[in-house]
Structure 1
Amino acid sequence: MPQPLLKPTEQGTVATAIAVLLAVALVAWMVAGGRSGRLIEIDEAEPVPYAFMVDVNSATWPELAQLPEIGEILARRIVETREQRGPYRTREDLMEVSGIGRVKLSRMAPHLLPLPDERAVAGP
C-alpha cells in the first residue's frame, strides 16, 4: 500500500488553510459586488464625457478631422486656408473655408478654443 503524501494532521492543516482562503475569496467577491450587480461590465459601462478642444490655428489636419462632421478633406482645407491667408482671428473666419457654413460652424464651436480676437473681447 502506497504511503500518503501528507500525514493525517498535515492533511487537516492543509484543508483548514484551503477553507480559510476560500472564505477570504468569498468575502472579497461579496465586497466587490458579488451577484448584486455592483461589478461593472466594461461593455455596458456609461461612457465618460471629455472635452476635446482644438486650436484651429495650431491643430494639424488629423486633430481637426476629429471634430463633429469634419472629415479628412475638410480638415485639410482648414489647414490649407490657414496657411494661405494666415491665422484665423474669429470663428466666423472659418466660414471662408469651402464646406463650412453656419450650421457646421455651430456644431464645431463647442470644441474650438477661443481665437485671438475672441480672447480680447472675453478679457482675462
Structure 2
Amino acid sequence: MSLSYWWYQGGHRGDLIEIDRAPPLSAQYLVDINEAELPEIIQLPRLGETMARRILTERNLNGPFEQIDDLIRVNGIGPKTLAKIRPYLLPISAKQD
C-alpha cells in the first residue's frame, strides 16, 4: 500500500539528486629531517629506502643537520636531489641553549 502511495506521489520520476561537493583539500607533506624516521624520509621525492637509510646513518653518526644544505654530506645527495626535496623539508630551527 505504501509503495503505491509513493508511486502516486511521483516517487519514481527519475529525477537526479543534486549533491553539493566540497572542493578537495590539499595537504602539504613536510618533514623535519632531524626528527623523521625511515617511513617519513622514504616518502620524499627521489629518495628510496637506501638513501633514507644513509640520511639516518649520517644523522646518527655525526649529529643533527644544522641547516638543510648539510644534507649534501650524505653520499648520493647532490645539488639536484637537494633542490627536489627542499620544498618538503621543514626549516631547521636553531639549537636551544
- The bucket for the TM-score relative to the shorter chain is 0.7 to 0.9
Q: How does the TM-score come out when normalised to structure 2? A: 0.79
* Alignment equivalent of 2:18, drawn from 31, 34, 51: 31
Instruction: Indicate the structure (1 or 2) with the bigger Cα radius of gyration.
Output: 1
Q: Which amino acid aligns with 1:22?
A: H
Structure 1: gaps (5+ residues): 1-10, 33-37, 40-46, 120-124
Task: Please tell me whether residue 104 in structure 1 is matched to residue 81 in structure 2.
Answer: yes
Aligned ranges 1:1-124 → 2 under 5 Å: 14-20=3-9, 21-23=11-13, 26-27=14-15, 29-32=16-19, 49-117=26-94
Quote the sequence identity (%). Answer: 33
Distance 2:67 2:26 in 1: 27
Q: Which consecutive segments of 4 or more residues in structure 1 shift more than 6 A?
A: none
Q: Distance in 2 between matches of 1:14 and 1:93?
A: 72
In angstroms, what is the RMSD of aligned CA positions? Answer: 2.7
- TM-score with structure 1 setting the length: 0.64
Classify 1:83/1:14 alpha carbon distance in 2 versus 1 (closer, same or farther; 3 Å): closer
5+ residue gaps, structure 2: none
- Choose between structure 1 and 2 for higher RCO, CA contacts under 8 A separated by at least 6 residues: 2
